[in-house]
Amino acid sequence: MPRPVRRHTPAHVDGRPVKITFGEMREMGLRGVLVYCHCGHHVAWDADRWPDNVRLSDLEPRFVCQGCGSRGADVRPDFERGNPQFAIMGYRNMQ
């Protein structure tokens, strides 16, 4: 997996990048998130359950993987269920 280039982006205290909020994600027409674990396990969630002011990165420490039981999953917008045009731009911004 290639390491992302270091940029001047905001980060949480533990070094994870700060991601967009659910409100911003919904404005982009995206309605779900994908939660990826390092073990390869991933799950899809509806974004409806989280309020607009919650960031995707805020959820990451809270997820416990059903496959391996570890925490610290990667939460990303589910572009396949959203607008594919935003998917291309959005992914570039997220990396």
**What are the b/e assignments for 17-40, b being 16+ CB within 10 Å?**
eebbbbeebbebbbebbbbbbeee
Q: Smaller CB distance to Zn ion: residue 25 or 37? A: 37
Q: Which is nearer to Zn ion, 29 or 72 (CB)?
A: 72
Q: Which of 26, 41, 42, 81 binds Zn ion (CB under 5 A)?
A: 41
Q: C-alpha distances in angstroms, 31 versus 20, 56, 61, 77, 80? A: 13, 13, 21, 8, 10
- Reading the block at residue 87, the tokens are 């998917």
Nearest distance, CB of residue 40 and Zn ion, angstroms: 7
What string marks each residue from 50 to 69 as x (binds Zn ion by CB under 5 A) or -? ---------------x-xx-
Residues between 1 and 30 that touch Zn ion (CB under 5 A): none
Residues in contact with Zn ion by CB under 5 A are 37, 39, 41, 65, 67-68
